[in-house]
Structure 1
Amino acid sequence: MSLSEVTERISRKLEAKGAQPDRQKIESRLRRLVEEFGVNTAEAERTVTGDLAREYNLTGVGSTSTELRQMSEIVPGEWVTIEGKIVALTPSLSPSIAQNGIIADSSGAMRFVAWARGDPPAMEYGHWYRIESAVVDEYKGAPNLKIHSGTTIARMEKDAPLLPSITPIAELKPGVGSVRAKVIQNWEVSHDRMLQTGLLGDETGTIKFVIWKEEGKDKLELDTVYNIFYATVDEYNGRLSLALNTAMYISDEGDIEVGRNETEIQGALVHIAPGSGLIKRCPVEGCNRTLSRQNYCPVHEIQPEFRYDLRLKAVLDDGIQAKNILMQREVVERLAGITLDEAVGIAETNPLGMDEIFYRIRNAVLGRYYTCSGNEFGGRLLVDSCSPATFKPEELAGLLNRAGGEAA
């Protein structure tokens, strides 16, 4: 390893502790020890690091540790040496990044990024590597391995199988996770690059998943159980989701009794939003987007062979807060008392067309009280079930009495 690389490594350690070291002075000290006094590079690094730590009054600044660490033990802020298998490589979105992906050992897995300025050797998917003097920081709430100019990478002649441990959905945290879960919902995709999104569940709860369009990636089948290894676990607005582009997923013949972490809200439907009622969807496989009145899909353009669907976008108010809700066809049919076939028949023979269905559904549900339950995502309740709320006169009287007492 060159002295400039050792200089860079020492500098990064000191900077991580808040110091502003002079790289030229560091390299000068190293050269004096190595070239004038014949000290080996490792000993010179330890000496210079210790001297500078005392000068800057820093603690916890050691030399590069060659002690092998398990990934499950690693926390942000450390310099580490690990041995792991490359289980995923993801496209680099910046010229400053040479490689990124996921590396795993028997204890766990984490994301890594290799910076291009360090000119690191390219690592291959499915192979084991020993990585020395990498720094661990935090990315999206999880440890992230950074490979820089002072890091050494050596391919290992090792082919040990990895058996990732399955984590219950309720115990997932940001980073990398493996689950055994069932596909319980497919949702309409909201982005041109998105292949599929929906809801996965196991015995402990549910979680949103997404698969982005990428060569070799297939959609998951509804009501099928999958073993999903090395998915990326992200957090947004306090909620976790699984991105499966880094993952390998294999269908399982078994079944899962999905535990529901459902939200239940009772209140009045105070607003029916445009886009409710009878709608048209794009028939192209994997799309399912809502079409305009002119049968136009924003991705696949005009689609004369569209398919009809029912949905309800509304606001449910419980007197304290208003919640945006979304109901799919089965719930809308039960609530509004009209089937999809009946709605299509009316729309095709009535002068108002699809607007007639909007008005009929709005008149059937607006202003009425319901108890709705489902999963909350992005500030919206995705309703699984909804039933009319039972009116209890004694409760209303109690509320009126309490209101009168407060006013007095």
Structure 2
Amino acid sequence: MNDKYAPHIEELSKALEGVGYTDIQTELDNLLRFRVPLEEAKRTILNKFRSKEACEIKIKDILNAPKSFALKGRIISVEKKKIVLKGETAYLYSGKLLDETGVCLFTAWDDFCLNEGDIIKIYNVHMKLWNNRPEINFGQRSIVEKLPEDPSLPKDEKIFTQTKKIIEINPSDLLVSSQGVVTEIYHRDIIVKGKDTIIIEGVIADDTGKLPFSSWVPMEGVDIGNAINFRDAHVRLFRGIPSLNFTHMTSWELLPDNKCPFSKNKIMTDEPSYISIGSVLEKDGLFDVVVTGNIISVRPGSGLIERCPTCNRVIQNNVCRAHGTVEGIRDMRVKAILDDGTGAVYIMLNRELSEVIYGRSMEEAENIAKLSMSKDAVYESMKRSLIGTYLAVRGNSSKSEFGTTIVARYAWVPEDDLLSRLDDLLLKLPEDI
């Protein structure tokens, strides 16, 4: 570097006590090579290295972390991923970081030369929620400092495994242990890194709920109706719903009938218990739940629609936001709000369920639209027919910034024992009324 910059490096060294002269010189050289004005380059270096003054937190406190913070931990996994960003190929690095208080996910948008087993102190990072799960983000202004081996930091994330009932497993969990009965199981052929691979998929349930699972390792001797005790299963997310992932880290064993803590026969009946909508709202996502309530609103977007033939998105005027101009596929749906007195959720009914609940086929709905020369006529007809209807819905729930939605797999009008429901309602009223 030209000697004319030496006074500026000295000035920065005095302002950044403890930061090496060579480090400052390298940063300044990099910025000037990219034609950053000298004063702007100096401000950038000051901001970057002063970020080391940010408060240091532990992983257990990540949800209450300040906007920018420092963290010390051990890298226990890291993976390089290829992505397309604004039409250009880029790479990001994701994995897990742990300290003595917990384990969390991270994403790095630059190559910090991270390796499994490294102990690092990372400055100027921030936390964000991804699918309601906290995640650490390393940005361009983050600084990674490699540290020597520290025996106080654990090397295995298994020490943070939690033992839970199925209903208690939530999206923020990373490793869990539990017990359950296999109610569904099947094998699926997939291609992983160019190789044919067989994975096992299914559903596991206990007396509190059920979750889907995938196993990447053989499960010899396990079949439908078997009760198993499993340890160290990874929790993955799909549309906000937790699922169990069995890997080489996961251990399991068959439970004999005399050690099974719940009734296998009852679980295998495939009759999920009804749950209040208020209980659904407390969870970020639930698998296979049944709720009942009254339709209090039929939302815009109900009625006759068209979908993209490639991605199945709803399109407007034959234009898909992902695939441009397409020839749409005709469809029909109901979007509504269901309320049971404890809370309200959005429900989504596909064409088949919409035809049953609405009481008209899609062809009949199209005739209504033709006679009135407006698709909105079907939406208005649905509102008149459905608002106030007492309905039971079975499906998966997921939560987003717009609220909680249940995508229905089944929907029906239950036998309406109005007097029994009225008695239940009266019992909930205060005695002095």
**Band the TM-score falls in, shorter-chain normalisation:** 0.3 to 0.5
Q: TM-score, normalised by structure 2?
A: 0.44
